[in-house]
Each structure stands twice: as structure tokens, then as C-alpha cells.
Structure 1
Amino acid sequence: MSGLLNISDASDCFTAQTIPELYGNDFLNPDVGGLAVAMSTILLRWGDNADVQTTIIMLLTQVYPVILATATSINTRNLSLFDAHFAIVATASPVSIYLVYSSFRDFIGLPSSLFNKLTHGKKVIRLLGLTLPIIWTTINILISFSPRAFRNSPQNCQKISFVEWIQYQTLSNFVGILDIMGQRDLWNDLNGRGGLGTLALITMWIWAIYMVYHRYDIVDEMRFRRQNQIEQINDFKKKALNSGDSPKSIVVFLHHFRRAIFPLCNLVCSSWNVITSSHPWMIFAIIMFLHWSWILGLQKGMLIERYQLSYGQILSLFSVILPLASVARLLLKRREDFTDFICNLWPSFLRGLRFLVTKKNPYLGRMFTIWVVSTTADIFWIIGYVDGGSKPNPRTPVNDPHKAWKPYSISSPLFAPFAALPLAQQWQWTHFCDSFAGEVELQGVTNPFQTPLAHFHYPHAANDDVRKNLQYDYALVRNDSAAGLIQDFIYAGPFNTLAALPEVLTVSYNLADHTFSVYCLYTSSKAVPCATGSYTTSPYLSFIIHIADTDEEIRLRAQDKEWGFSNDAPSFVLKFEDAGGQLGDIDLQSAVTKRSHCEILKICASSGAPDIATLVPLGIVLMTQDEYSQYCLLPRLYSV
């Protein structure tokens, strides 16, 4: 990223952890063996004891060498930030998290189905499982907070706050793995992700039907758990009050804590136990979806076009033969179960639906009321989600400020329709600028040999307000002789006739002192200076334009302070400003980026031609869009 937006060091540090071959990172070798071992985790549920033992040992022998090699490479300048972050993500697979969870349960004396299937070495496996989160956390902290831990740490990680680190870890290490819904785009899901989001959505609906179908069993399970918890709390209260060691306030706090937390925990745990016991295939589906999403996340950071297998990688291919053979043997043994599941899926779904509609239920009225209230709330949630995601301007309560949109956009797909946002974004791309005189498509690039372009669309007929056709192209050209501090926004065609040429041919920007000069074509001879001025990008995007011939001064200012972002396209409403600082009519307004083409941003223009007030700000916006294009088009571990 360049210095146009003054992007923080924290942003560079987090970005450097997810993008290979930039920010001082190297090209990454794919972990061939690790991905194959991840496929064998089906054995943890249905495999024989010997298969489970083999899988866990294979997992540990691949996880620990990677993270120990990463830990011992700290301060040696052998690894980059991306290498270290990839090592954490690759080893913190869903099955590794399950191993940590099972080790903790076994450590505190609770039953664990995984450790029940282990035949020997339980103490060693438990110790190794409990040590994993400590190593992950330590390396994660060093990645962001140590200025010399890795080769490119001094250039990128100098000013990181604890709040920024927590936000990044939440998004990259948690949401990035569990965001199985992808881009919430049905075609993108089927074409690029193999239908993972669609299958996950169907499974969520089936889970909801199972919850209603087994509601009495779930309630009984909750009562059983609640009774045990009440007995444990009462025993603790008696001991605490009798001993006098604990103040009474702690007992009161624990009492209220139990009433607030236990019902929700009991509902989740009871639903899980009842449904997975009655329908074991749900465990297989959840494990498959989690690993599927995890592998897709790793795949974004693995560029294998130029990769050639080394001697060690060829040897590692043979290390996965045993777990993969176990998977094949398990699938062969369970083929009847899988066949029955596929054949009975649709009849089971119809039986559950018929049960919901026809079976008598004394609580039907209460359940219907809850359904109406929750559905109404969901409707407003969806409206806010679609409105904020497809109409960035004017700002809405869910995207103002801009940083509020990220957690909202991540959580909304759990409730919003699968295709609502893509359809709305496509509609906004097509029709958002219908009420404006023109529209401009700003196209950034990632290839240094290409040129950022602005495509101007205007109606051919004066009474045609909807159909806009391409009429002008402008290119953003860097002046190499000025060390990149001078950039020209130049007319690039078409050159059909002299009469068809626009009035403004070039806007030249001096990035050092934030000034610009405009050159116009008043006669058929040559372009002459016609305007000068200055601009600011902070705290507001603003422009002061002095027209040479008339001594007129044009002032423009963005409505909101936020307009350019390191991880998103420019978003603004640029208005005319009077001498008193009051904003007036709209000059330019950003719409949305094109679906599946983050490098193309549409801008609505109030002017019916590429005049000075339109071209001057668009050049700066195109520079910012080009920076974002370089960010969004690069392969990364997770799009956060």
C-alpha cells in the first residue's frame, strides 16, 4: 500500500501475516502430508481403536514438528510473518482443537470418547494436547508484538495495540475457519467451494427440525442437567458459608451466574447430546464441514503453480498411506450406513415437516407466537443487512462507522437468506445510478504493467435516463521521472473525431504537496492550463478548484470523514460546499463494487459530462481504488 491513505502499521502487520510473496514474505511450500492426515479424522468417530490411535499419533507427529520448528526459528530471520501465521493456522485444525478439548476433559476427570478409544500412551497424548494452545498463543503473541521475531517484523509490526490484536485474532483464527457460508453467493459457493455453504445451510435446517422433533427429550435432558447443577451449587454454598473462607457476595454472584448462564449452556449441550445420539450422521457432517472450510482457507494462501516436489515432500507422500487406507477401509465397512442415510434423507425431512404441521401440541400457540416474533425480528435484521451491504451510502446504523460493518456482516449470514445480499448487490450495481446523469467504473489493477482506468458512461439521448453507454476512458499514469510523486489522469479514448473529445484532457496530481493542475482543450491546437487547486484526504476528502478563465472557485467535500479503507473499496458522498462550509448538492457518490470483481467500483456522477468538478476528485479516488485492488485480488489465508 502506498501512503495516500496513511495506512497504519497495525494494518500492515496483520496483512503481512495473510498474503504470501509480499511484505517481505516468501513463496510457501504446501503441506502435502498435513492435509491428507486431516482427511483421516473421520476415524475419530467411527473408526476402530487401532485406527484412532494411528490417526492421533500421525497428527501429533505432523503438528509438533511444524510448530516447534516455527518456535525455534524466532529471532533467527529464517521465517517470515506469513510463514509463522500459516504454521499456526495449518496446525490449529478442527481435529487439533478437538484433541485439545478431549485432553482437557480427560485432565479434569470428565469422560472423553476420544481417550476411551486410545489403547496406550494416554498421559503423553494428554500432555501434548494441553501444551498445544500454550504454544499457539505464545507464537501468536510474538508474531504481532515482537518487532524482531521474524524476518519482516521490523518493517511491518511496530505499533500494535492489544485491542487490535484481539480483533484480528477473532476474525482470522475463529471466523476465518468457521465461516462455512463463504461469500453468501450461491453461484460462487457452487462454483468455487463445491457447495459447502449450501450443504451447511441444509444441515442447519435439518438440525432445527431435529430440535423440534426431539424437544421433549431435550427438555428432559435439560432438567437432568439442571438438577445436577443445583446440587453442585448448593454443596458449594454450604461449604463456603460454613468455612467462612468465601464471602457471602461470591455465593450470591454464583447463584445469579448459574441462573443466567446455565439455561443457555444446558440448551446447547442437551440439544447436542440428544441429536447426535439419535442421528450420529450429524457429527460426521459437522466434522466434514469444518475441515472442508479449514482446507479452503489454507488453499487461498498456497500458490502451487510454480511448486516442484522436493525429496522430503516426496517422502512425506508415503506417510499418509496408512491413514488414507484406514479411511478407505472405514468407508467400505460403513457403505450400507451411508447408502441408508442418502436414501432416507428426504423421507426423514418430510416426516419431520409433517410432524411440525399436523401433530397436536398444547404449546402450539406459544410456539407460534415465538415464531412470529423471531421471524419479524429476523426480517428487520435482513433488511438492515442487505441495506448496509448493498447501499453503502448514505450510511446506515449498521455501517456507520465503517468498522461496525465487519462483525455485523460476519454474523448476519447465520440469519439472512443465502442469496439476499448477492441479488441486492447486483441490483444496486445495475440501478443505483439510474437517478444520476452519468456513472463511472473505476478499475484498479494488480499487474504493474497494466494501467488503472476510469470508464465514463452517459446516455446517448437527452431523454434517456436509464440506458447509459460507454463514451469516454481515462487512464491513471505514473510519472516515473518524478519518483512516483506526479500522477496524471489522462483521456484515453475514443479518438473518433475531434468534436467527440471531452473538454478536459488531463489532470496532473502532485502527491508531495497535494496540489493539481487541469489541462483543457479549448481549441483544436493544443491543451492549455484551465484550472489549479489543492486537495486533502484527511480528516475529510476535500477539493478547492480555481478556474483560470472566470476566477471561479469550486469547493467539494465528503459528507463523512471515513472514505478510504485499507481493506475495502472507497465509500463516500462528495458534495459541493459553499463559502460558509455548508454542504449542498451531490457531485459524486460511490455505489458498490462489481460482484466477484472487487477491483471495479461504480461511482455515480451528477454531471452529464466529464467536467473539471467530476474528473479532479475521481483521479484521487481511482488511486485509492487501485490500492484496494492490489489488496483484495491477492491470495490470502482468509478474507478478513
Structure 2
Amino acid sequence: MSEMQLVNSTDPYILALEGYMLCVYKNEGQNPDMQGYAVRISNFIVNLCLAILIRYSNEDVIESVSVLLLQIYTLLVSAFISLIRKKLSVADAHFAITSTVSPLAIYLLYASVRKILRKRSYLYRRLGHHSNETYVALSLLVLLMWIIMDLLIYFADVFTNKCPRITLVSWFMYRFMAAYTSFIFASVFIVILICMWIMYLLRHFRDIRDEYRRHKMKAQPWKHFRWVQWFPLTFKSFMIAQWDVITKGHPWMLTFSVVITYVVWGSSLMLYIPDLSKFYYDLVTGLEEDNDLPTLPYQAPDGYDPLGFGQLLAATVAFPPMWQVLNLIWTRRNDIVAWIKSYPISLWNGIVFILTGHRNPWKKVLERRAENGEAGTFYDSVPLTGPGEERKVGQRTDSTFSNDEKIELETSEPTLWRSTTSFDYPTTYSTSTLYDPYNPARS
């Protein structure tokens, strides 16, 4: 019996799914220039290095984002050109999507959406005023290309191998199985993350409650149908409050979450399997045996060379980002050494907080917020930090604002926010001004 055997093989949806899987898997790993091991490893390393450079480097942000978009467009445009010439297999089309839907690409798309909605974005603040519209347009175009390619895979007959049509139900089943194989290796880390999040949620219950009230009071209540606004406003305020308290008080949680996303993406790229053609041959053989179909002996792809030109070229692409990361590590070696020295104390403070509730790191965040005179929340986060570690956050100067933000600040009129705390609890404070429960000067 195969590892991919499906239950209830007499179900028509299952049969359609098995037929589609047999068609796709027979072509997986057959194109080493597209799905070779060096190509997959190089793609992962480049994306990871670019994420580090975007987060920590002050000089390489624009260059890193440009390289990321160049990498994505090179794969997608090449796939579409091969598709037009009818020289693209379904397996290669699947891999073109998988290799470009990286955590960093999704974050770029998320930052672009926030930019369109005129909300603050850490990435575009780092980019400054350098062709923001161009990056936004290119990011949204990537999303459109993903959707078009995915629709063509399942509902069009334009590939070299003609796979049987599958129903919408079978399509969702295939997507579920692909997601399952990607998340299975990160399941342990996900469980740890959820358990720690729940633990911090209980420990920071009062902090989250106060932060929730503060966020809710910043909203402008509707004149009519306030009961319609109540639930989404309550849910949004609660989610933002716990996110701010936990990730700002324990920044390592955010770093751990990013690591999990890269583990999931690495699993979807099958980085743990050097030879994809042999791996998928075993899957196809198992499926054929389950369905009493004849099997063929394994044959390596024609002209396959693990050290061929395409593989070596893909490997060399990863060297420039790796060199930039090494240079960044050397430049910031003093900060890294200081972090390593302070990590044991930070770790111990985190353990003490979990066990006793003392040494609450959120209090230090509130102190920095009061010192900086900020009523809002930080939208910047610092990975590579241990539990309870302090971080320095400076005030935004005029040079850190983009031109659009400067114009908006100069032309905008002050808004009188009214409190919506009447939804939850009575208050004796004025409803015409913003009440901050963290202001140490309040009476």
C-alpha cells in the first residue's frame, strides 16, 4: 500500500483526484533546470538572505526588494512564455507557483496593500520615496499572475501533458493534501507556538484588556447602527491588542513565527528530497499498485546531470546575497555579541515571568511609549531577541517620513476621537478626547 493511498477509492471525487495526481506526479522532477535540487536550495537561500537584508540592513533594502521581484518575475514570465509555446508541463506550472509564493513575497504583497490603504508600512517606510508606486504595482501584478497560473493549471488544456479534468471538490482536496505535506514538518513548531501564545495570553490578560480598551477608544463610532459596528470593532481591537502585547513584550515569538513560515515553505519546495523524480516515481508506483495498474521500472530523466550547467548557474545566484549577509554580520558584530551576552538574562526573565508573572516585559514597553510620547503602537519589530529582552525604539524624525506622509501630516486637521467604551464599561472621562489608560500622568 502506498503512502498516498486515499480512503474510499470508489468515490468519484477520489478517483478523479487519483487520476490527476498520477498525471502530475509522472512529470514531477523531470525538468532539472526547473525542479533540480540546486535550483530549489538556491531559491530558498536567496529568499532567506533577502529577508535578513531587508530587516537589518540600512543600505540594501531597495536592492533586496528589487532582487526579490526580479527573481519572482523571472520564474513566472519564463513559465508563461513556455506556456504560450506549449512547452510547459503541469508539474512545472505547480512548481512555478510554489517557488514564488514565498513568505517574503507574501509580506511584500501585504505591505503593498497597506500602502494602497494609506496605512503605515514598515517596508515602505524603509524604502522611503524611491518609486513606491512601482513596487506596489509590481507586487499586485504578481498576485494576478499567481491567480491566472493557478486557474490555467486546473481549468485549461494548454500544457504538454494533458491531465484529466478535476472537479472543484477534487481541486480543493488536492490543495488540502499539498498543504498537509507542507505543514506536517512544521507541526511540532506550530504546536509550540500556539501553546506559548496561549500561555502569554493568560499571563498578559490584564495588559491585553487595557490595550484592547485603548484601541477601541481610538475608533470613531457610527452615528447609526452602532450594534453592527460593535462586533467587528470588538474583534479587531482584541486581536490587535493581544498581537501588540505579546509580540512587543516577547519579540522572539515573532521571530519564531517567521522561522515556521520558512520551514513550511521549505517543505513545499521538498528541500529534504534531493531527487524529486525518484521520490515521485515511488508515489506513482504506489498509486498504480493500489489501483491494480501496471508499473514501469524507474528511469532517470533524459540528460539529467546533478552538476549540469543549469544547476551550477542556479547555485551561483545565491552567492551575492550570502556575501551581503556575511558582510552585514561582520558590520554588526558588536550588536550580535552584545545580544548573545544578554540572552541568558533575557531568557531567565522570560522564565520568571511565565512561572510567577513578575518581571513583566510589557511594563518596559509602556515606559518607552511614555518617554517617546507615543499614543499608538509600534509597527516595527526586532527579531533575534530573547524572551523579555529590551529593545531601543527611537522617535520618528522628519527624515524617516516619506513625501506622501509629510504632505498628509502637514495638511491633515486634528481629529476629535470619541470614546466607544460605553459599549463595555462606564467611564467618567470625557468622550471628546482620547483617554490613554497607560498615561502615567492621568488622575
1:137 aligns with 2:147: yes
CA deviations over 1:583-614 (Å, ceiling 9, x no partner): xxxxxxxxxxxxxxxxxxxxxxxxxxxxxxxx
**In the alignment, is the contact (CA less than 8 A) between 1:37 and 1:55 conserved in 2?**
no
Q: In the alignment, which residue of structure 1 is the partner of 2:388?
A: none
CA deviations over 1:455-498 (Å, ceiling 9, x no partner): xxxxxxxxxxxxxxxxxxxxxxxxxxxxxxxxxxxxxxxxxxxx
Quote how far apart the aligned CAs of 1:298 are: 0.9
**In the alignment, is the contact (CA less than 8 A) between 1:212 and 1:356 conserved in 2?**
no
Quote how far apart the aligned CAs of 1:139 are: 0.6
**Helix, strand or coil: the match of 2:158?**
coil
Q: Per the alignment, do residues 317 and 137 of structure 1 end up closer, same or farther by CA in structure 2, a change over 3 Å counting?
A: same
Name stretches of at least 5 consecutive residues in structure 2 with no aligned partner.
Answer: 279-303, 361-443
Q: In the alignment, which residue of structure 1 is the partner of 2:135?
A: 125
Partner Cα distance (1:341, 1:302) in 2: 39
Quote how far apart the aligned CAs of 1:50 are: 2.0
1:213 aligns with 2:184: no
Partner Cα distance (1:37, 1:104) in 2: 24
**In the alignment, is the contact (CA less than 8 A) between 1:16 and 1:25 conserved in 2?**
no
Quote how far apart the aligned CAs of 1:268 are: 2.4
1:157 aligns with 2:164: yes
TM-score, structure 2 length as denominator? 0.62
1:280 aligns with 2:251: yes
1:319 aligns with 2:317: yes
Partner Cα distance (2:169, 2:228) in 1: 26
Q: In the alignment, which residue of structure 2 is the partner of 1:339?
A: 340
**In the alignment, is the contact (CA less than 8 A) between 1:10 and 1:157 conserved in 2?**
no
Partner Cα distance (1:342, 1:80) in 2: 50
Q: In the alignment, which residue of structure 2 is the partner of 1:35?
A: 44
CA deviations over 1:95-114 (Å, ceiling 9, x no partner): 11111100100111000001
**In the alignment, is the contact (CA less than 8 A) between 1:80 and 1:150 conserved in 2?**
yes
- Which of 157, 168, 191 does residue 174 from structure 2 map onto? 168
Q: In the alignment, which residue of structure 2 is the partner of 1:12?
A: 19
1:54-93 equivalences under 5 Å are 54-74=63-83, 76-93=85-102
Partner Cα distance (1:357, 1:315) in 2: 54
**In the alignment, is the contact (CA less than 8 A) between 2:109 and 2:140 conserved in 1?**
yes
The one of the two structures with greater contact order (alpha-carbon pairs below 8 A, sep at least 6) is 2
**In the alignment, is the contact (CA less than 8 A) between 1:222 and 1:267 conserved in 2?**
yes
**In the alignment, is the contact (CA less than 8 A) between 2:54 and 2:64 conserved in 1?**
no
After TM superposition, the runs of 4+ consecutive aligned structure 1 residues lying more than 6 A away are none
- Which of 103, 114, 118 does residue 109 from structure 1 map onto? 118
Q: In the alignment, which residue of structure 2 is the partner of 1:303?
A: 275
1:595-634 equivalences under 5 Å are none
Partner Cα distance (2:114, 2:95) in 1: 28
Letter in 2 for 1:234: W
Instruction: Give the greater-gyration-radius structure (CA).
Output: 1
Name stretches of at least 5 consecutive residues in structure 1 with no aligned partner.
Answer: 183-195, 238-251, 360-640
Q: In the alignment, which residue of structure 2 is the partner of 1:234?
A: 222
**In the alignment, is the contact (CA less than 8 A) between 1:105 and 1:112 conserved in 2?**
yes
Partner Cα distance (2:329, 2:260) in 1: 17
Partner Cα distance (1:259, 1:125) in 2: 36
**Helix, strand or coil: the match of 2:112?**
helix
Quote how far apart the aligned CAs of 1:88 are: 0.3
**In the alignment, is the contact (CA less than 8 A) between 1:103 and 1:129 conserved in 2?**
yes
Partner Cα distance (1:149, 1:302) in 2: 29
Richer in helix (by share): 2
Richer in strand (by share): 1
**In the alignment, is the contact (CA less than 8 A) between 1:210 and 1:275 conserved in 2?**
yes
**Helix, strand or coil: the match of 1:73?**
helix
Quote how far apart the aligned CAs of 1:257 are: 5.0
Partner Cα distance (1:358, 1:64) in 2: 48
Partner Cα distance (1:101, 1:118) in 2: 15
Letter in 1 for 2:136: R
Quote how far apart the aligned CAs of 1:356 are: 4.8
**Helix, strand or coil: the match of 1:149?**
coil
Quote how far apart the aligned CAs of 1:321 are: 2.5
**In the alignment, is the contact (CA less than 8 A) between 1:214 and 1:274 conserved in 2?**
yes
Q: In the alignment, which residue of structure 2 is the partner of 1:450?
A: none
**In the alignment, is the contact (CA less than 8 A) between 1:102 and 1:112 conserved in 2?**
yes
Q: In the alignment, which residue of structure 1 is the partner of 2:287?
A: none
Q: Per the alignment, do residues 38 and 322 of structure 1 end up closer, same or farther by CA in structure 2, a change over 3 Å counting?
A: same
CA deviations over 1:406-444 (Å, ceiling 9, x no partner): xxxxxxxxxxxxxxxxxxxxxxxxxxxxxxxxxxxxxxx
**In the alignment, is the contact (CA less than 8 A) between 1:37 and 1:58 conserved in 2?**
no
**Helix, strand or coil: the match of 2:36?**
coil
Partner Cα distance (2:137, 2:235) in 1: 31
Quote how far apart the aligned CAs of 1:151 are: 1.4
TM-score, structure 1 length as denominator? 0.44
Partner Cα distance (1:162, 1:311) in 2: 40
- Aligned alpha-carbon RMSD (Å): 3.4
Q: In the alignment, which residue of structure 2 is the partner of 1:51?
A: 60
Q: Which sits farther off after the overlay, 78-87 or 321-330?
A: 321-330
CA deviations over 1:75-116 (Å, ceiling 9, x no partner): 533111111001101100111111110010011100000111
Partner Cα distance (2:117, 2:244) in 1: 20
Partner Cα distance (1:337, 1:134) in 2: 44
Provide the aligned length of Structure 1 versus Structure 2: 317
Partner Cα distance (1:349, 1:114) in 2: 29
**Helix, strand or coil: the match of 1:74?**
helix
Quote how far apart the aligned CAs of 1:358 are: 13
Letter in 1 for 2:230: R
**Helix, strand or coil: the match of 1:131?**
helix
**In the alignment, is the contact (CA less than 8 A) between 1:209 and 1:352 conserved in 2?**
no
Q: Per the alignment, do residues 45 and 74 of structure 1 end up closer, same or farther by CA in structure 2, a change over 3 Å counting?
A: closer
Letter in 1 for 2:43: G
Q: Per the alignment, do residues 66 and 46 of structure 1 end up closer, same or farther by CA in structure 2, a change over 3 Å counting?
A: closer
CA deviations over 1:252-273 (Å, ceiling 9, x no partner): 5xx5553333433332222222
Letter in 1 for 2:275: L
Q: Per the alignment, do residues 57 and 347 of structure 1 end up closer, same or farther by CA in structure 2, a change over 3 Å counting?
A: same
* % identical aligned pairs: 22
**In the alignment, is the contact (CA less than 8 A) between 1:77 and 1:149 conserved in 2?**
yes
Partner Cα distance (1:29, 1:342) in 2: 39
Letter in 2 for 1:137: I
Q: In the alignment, which residue of structure 2 is the partner of 1:398?
A: none
